[in-house]
Chains A and B, each alone.
Chain A
């Protein structure tokens, strides 16, 4: 079945530095790649997503890149702040009419931003 691998499992950076989290997926039919942020004790929430027809997407300090040939995508957070500390999950799905649309998640990355 489809598999999503996420690295690293933990990441510690100094405030102001950049953080990069990487994911690889196995199903070449995947076309939707979201990233979720889960703060301690809270529900996961979508922070950014990308579809297979683009290679990069940016939203303020957050960006996601996609390499379909290599089947990997990455989350980049610049100018990190303590409130960025959370668990981040990548996911992949084959989304759209006629498909299941079910998301397969990576194992999660615990990001700690030190003040």
Chain B
């Protein structure tokens, strides 16, 4: 069954701790993206990657880091430098040279205690 899998679905973190959100896709898509969703602010781009071993900052990259060692995987680390990390995080993928349509995972909700 093709798609994008995010884990964990819910995550709690203490202040000062780093946390990594997993995103795996078996759609053979080239591009992968991380978005942050906050009420009333839409989806804001954190990082994106068009090919393996390459990624670019989005609009709100500060306090986040990513890696793209494999085509199917694009994990996001929320570091202690992120001042307001409590949010809903969405991973997505696309065939970037084609339609531009994004396929989203089900999201990970991070709460900082």
Which residues from chain A sit less than 8 Å from chain B, CB to CB? Answer: 1, 4, 6, 9, 32, 34, 36, 42-46, 49, 89, 91, 93, 95-97, 100-108
Contact = CB atoms under 8 A, between A and B. Distances in A.
A105 B59 contact: no
Contacts of A107: 40-42
Nearest to A32: B100
Given A95-B96, A96-B97, A106-B42, 13 more contacts: A43-B90, A43-B105, A43-B106, A44-B43, A44-B104, A49-B101, A89-B43, A95-B100, A97-B97, A100-B48, A100-B56, A101-B100, A105-B43
A101 B40 contact: no
B33 interface: yes
A96 B31 CA distance: 13
Contacts of B35: 105
Contacts of A103: 33, 45, 100, 102
A108 B100 contact: no
Interface in B54-95: 56, 58-59, 90, 94
Of the four ranges (under 10, 10 to 19, 20 to 34, 35 or more), the interface on chain B belongs to 20 to 34
A-B pairs, top 5 by smallest CB distance, nearest first, are: A95-B100, A101-B96, A43-B104, A105-B43, A107-B42
Contacts of A49: 99-101
B107 A1 contact: no
Nearest to A2: B59
Nearest to A106: B42
A101 B101 contact: no
A1 B59 contact: yes
Given A96-B97, A97-B97, A101-B97, A43 B107 contact: yes
